Amino acid sequence: NKKDMERVARLKKASLMDEKLREASFDSFQVTKYNARNLKLCRRYAEAFDEMVSKNQGLIFWGSVGTGKSFAAACIANHLLNRGVPVMMTSLVKLLELLQGGEEKESDIIARMNSAKLVIFADLGAERNTDYALEKIYNIIDSRYRSRKPLIVTTNLTLTELKNPQDTAHARIYDRLLELCTPIACTGPSLSLIHISEPTRPRLIS
């Protein structure tokens, strides 16, 4: 048990998750009329994760600031980490800073990231819209696609913005994400998991 706990601690440390999200859990939710369905869906995703891996099934949590997107993703991450599943959760802004810092090669960072069974990228759309940033983000997401492993993304962008990108550089990123991930709408009061729109294409657990 001690060795298992130490391994979980190492996995959490390596995940690059913000400190405030490391204790997020499904049990800490106070279920409301808004969050019950999303909470159930997220729990089922985590509990059926082996099936999600086999289907390369990811999620996009989208909605306004403070609607519980990162918390929802962190609950899935911690559920899996506590069971010894390698998960990396980090913001795309932080990842771009790491790449620009030059302390590690881009190929090494991507290889380390793709060794995780699940990768979670927070705050898509918060990065600078430079050619450099957009190219790196596409490379990161495309490498995940080619690794045949799922990813989860959170974003303040709307589903309409994701489906109608402003230019080709954004279209490459958003098209790839929508191919991999089911969109989940988070709306309403801050820090709540709210109503989920019915997914159209990829299907989740029946």
Report, as an integer, the average pLDDT of 62-89: 89
- By C-alpha distance, which of 135, 143, 137 is closest to 116? 143
In whole numbers, what is the pLDDT of the chain averaged over residues?
Answer: 83
**3 state DSSP class of 182:** strand
Angle at which helices 92-101 and 131-147 cross, to 10°? 110
pLDDT digits (tens, 9 = 90+) for 165-187: 989 999 999 999 999 999 998 87
The answer to whether residue 203 scores a pLDDT higher than 70 is no
Whole-angstrom distance, CA of residue 81 vs CA of residue 113: 15
Confidence band of 201 (pLDDT split at 50, 70, 90) = very low
What is the per-residue DSSP string for 116-167? SSEEEEEEET-S---HHHHHHHHHHHHHHHHHT--EEEEESS-HHHHHS-SS
Confidence band of 191 (pLDDT split at 50, 70, 90) = low
**pLDDT for residue 59:** 97
Confidence band of 64 (pLDDT split at 50, 70, 90) = confident
Task: Give the contacts of 180 (CB within 8 A, at least 6 positions apart).
Answer: 56, 58, 141, 144, 145, 150, 151, 202
Q: Which has more pLDDT, 68 or 175?
A: 175
pLDDT digits (tens, 9 = 90+) for 33-56: 777 788 899 999 999 999 999 999
Whole-angstrom distance, CA of residue 45 vs CA of residue 107: 29
Report, as an integer, the average pLDDT of 154-163: 94
Percent of the chain with pLDDT over 90: 42
Max avg pLDDT among 10-19, 88-97, 122-131, 143-152: 143-152
Neighbours of 9 (CB within 10 A): 11
Q: Which has more pLDDT, 112 or 120?
A: 120
Whole-angstrom distance, CA of residue 172 vs CA of residue 169: 6
| Sole residue written with tokens 């080709």 | 168
Whole-angstrom distance, CA of residue 170 vs CA of residue 82: 35
The answer to whether residue 2 scores a pLDDT higher than 70 is no
The answer to whether residue 204 scores a pLDDT higher than 70 is no
**pLDDT for residue 150:** 95
Report, as an integer, the average pLDDT of 86-106: 84
